[in-house]
Amino acid sequence: MPASAPKFFANSIVALHGVGKIFDNAVSALDGFDLEIQRGEFVSLLGPSGCGKSTALRIVAGLTEPTVGAVVWNNTEPASRGERGIGFVFQEPTLMPWTNATGNVYLPLRLKGHDREQAAPQISAALTGVGLAEFANAYPRELSGGMKMRVSIARALVTHPRLLLMDEPFAALDEITRFKLNNDLLALWKAMGETVVFVTHSVFESVYLSSRIIVMTPRPGRIFTEIPVDVRYPRDEKFRTSPEYAALCRKVSVALSAAMAAGGGE
């Protein structure tokens, strides 16, 4: 797509131009969806259930082809999908039941050809990072829903992805764990300088984490509005209790209500 190449800012990674997705069963999930992801940003997709958030994320990852529109990678990015350094956390844990937590986290490294001993420190660091060091040998069926999700997060992080795509990763967790992992994720993001696209339907979570919030309309999803969150990182519990945070949450809530009222045009 050389025609759209000049539109790129120097530091953008990938852009979706007028993307629409109609499934075989004639459900239109996305329509005229435009999104440009900048290097190093933390962008959240916020919208009601069924508005096409997961679909948008899968399209960015190249797991689903858009029906219309284009996905354009900056030509500074590797051409092959395996080398782009994408980490993906699915909405479901998506673990291999036949191997334990360690084996699941090892998978991305194994596929890259690392041997198990060489990978062991990285694996245990990733599991420790999500608070599951003690469960390294547990099989998925022995883990709770939230623990499985944390294994899935550890698996996505173990490769230190340059673009991390997360689909409601914390939805199944209790508040305390969720806050802790929010903070861990922010710390990691700062340390790695990576880019995160984060799907959520929690206004509070999106404001706490993001540098930019994309509010989507109901199905077929399109961008209703974009809200920048110009609050300096690192953010901590003080930010969570600040009036500034409350005001931003209110603003995003209002936008989300307006998006739902505006509808998806069906």
Partner 1 sequence: MSVSRSAARARNRADQALRFILPLAALALGMLAWDLVVRLNAIPSYVLPGPVLVFATIITDWPVLWSSLLVTLTTTFEALLLALIGGVGLAVLFNRSRVFEYSFYPYAVILQVTPVIAIAPLLLIYLPQPAAVLVCAWIVAFFPVLANTTLGLNSVDRNLADLFRLYGATRTQILIHLKLPAALPFILGGLRIAGGLALIGAVVAAIAAGSAGAGSGLAYRIAESGYRLNIPRMFAALILLSIAGIAIFAALSLLSHLILRQWHESAVAPEN
Ligand X SMILES: Nc1ncnc2c1ncn2[C@@H]1O[C@H](COP(=O)(O)OP(=O)(O)OP(=O)(O)O)[C@@H](O)[C@H]1O
Q: Segment 193-232, which members bind ligand X (CB under 6 A)? A: 201, 219
**Closer CB to partner 1, 107 or 125, in the complex:** 107
From CA 220, how far away is CA 128, in angstroms rounded? 40
d(CA 12, CA 73) in angstroms, rounded, equals: 9
Decide if residue 265 touches partner 1 (CB under 8 A): no
61 binds partner 1 (CB under 8 A): yes
The CB-of-200 to Mg ion minimum distance in angstroms stands at 10
Q: Pick from 8, 139, 204, 239 the residue near partner 1 by CB under 8 A.
A: 139
Q: Interface with partner 1 includes 174 (CB under 8 A)?
A: no
Report CA torsion sign: 208, 59, 52, 265.
positive
Question: Does 237 contact partner 1 by CB under 8 A?
Answer: no
**Residues 130-164: b if buried by 16+ CB within 10 A, e if exposed:** bebeebbebbbeebeebbbbbbbbbbbbbbebbbb
What is d(CA 156, CA 124) in angstroms, rounded to the nearest whole number?
Answer: 13
Q: Of how many residues is the chain composed?
A: 266
Q: Is there binding between residue 91 and ligand X (CB under 6 A)? A: yes
Residue 8 binding: pick among partner 1, ligand X, Mg ion, none (C-beta 5-8 Å cut-off by kind): none
Question: Is 97 near partner 1 (CB under 8 A)?
Answer: yes
Alpha helices by DSSP H, 173-228: 175-192, 203-209
Strands 42-46 and 68-73, how do they pair?
A: unpaired
Is 96 one of the binding residues for partner 1 (CB under 8 A)?
Answer: yes
Structure tokens at 106: 């090892």
Per CB under 6 A, 65 contacts ligand X: no
Q: Of the two residues 131 and 146, which places its CB atom closer to Mg ion in the complex?
A: 146
Residues that bind partner 1 (CB under 8 A): 58, 61-63, 80-83, 86, 88, 90, 92, 94, 96-99, 107-108, 110-112, 139-141, 159
